[in-house]
Amino acid sequence: MKFSKVLPVAALLALVGASFSAQAYDADWKRGRVYYRSVCTSCHVASPIGSINPSTKTKADWAAYLKADKHAKGKDTVSRYVSKAYRASIKSGNKAAEKYADTPDQELMEDIKAFLMKGAKDGDAPASCS
């Protein structure tokens, strides 16, 4: 009798687990690279700081930076520059912002993070953005 009750519960747990894994987003580092190079790097090159290459920081440094969500020494947020509103404001002059105008903010942020992790100083393929 116990076996007949355990089997449906196990099947239900398996279905719930499968639905959670199906909802996980698999970040696209290539899309993150395009956005980072077209939006982030282009702006930083024009600023007094100059470009900020992914290989200037370790994966831990990038993860902490993104988690803190502070940009311009805390005067702004990183998430602002990934938001749909920001992309809409620059899309007339930026092809990547136009191309990814409808991409959910969190997906694009995950894509950028994947690129930064891959291109970090201790990443799989340390990258420079020139």
Span 95-116, pLDDT tens digits: 999 999 999 999 999 999 999 9
Q: What is residue 19's predicted lDDT score, i.e. its pLDDT?
A: 46
Q: Is residue 14 part of a domain?
A: no
Q: What is residue 5's predicted lDDT score, i.e. its pLDDT?
A: 58
Q: Is residue 111 part of a domain?
A: yes
Q: Is residue 4 part of a domain?
A: no
Mean pLDDT for 12-30 is 67
Domains held by the chain: number: 1
**Is the whole-model pTM more than 0.85?**
no
- CB neighbours of 114 closer than 8 A, spacing ≥ 6? 27, 28, 29, 32
Q: Is residue 90 part of a domain?
A: yes
Q: Is residue 128 part of a domain?
A: no
Q: Is residue 126 part of a domain?
A: no
Structural domain that includes position 40: 26-119
Q: What is residue 17's predicted lDDT score, i.e. its pLDDT?
A: 54
The DSSP secondary structure of 104-119, one letter per residue, reads -HHHHHHHHHHHHHHH
Q: Is residue 64 part of a domain?
A: yes
Q: Mean pLDDT in the chain? A: 84
Q: Is residue 99 part of a domain?
A: yes
Q: What is residue 58's predicted lDDT score, i.e. its pLDDT?
A: 96
Mean pLDDT for 90-98 is 95
Tell me what percent of the residues of the chain surpass a pLDDT of 70: 79
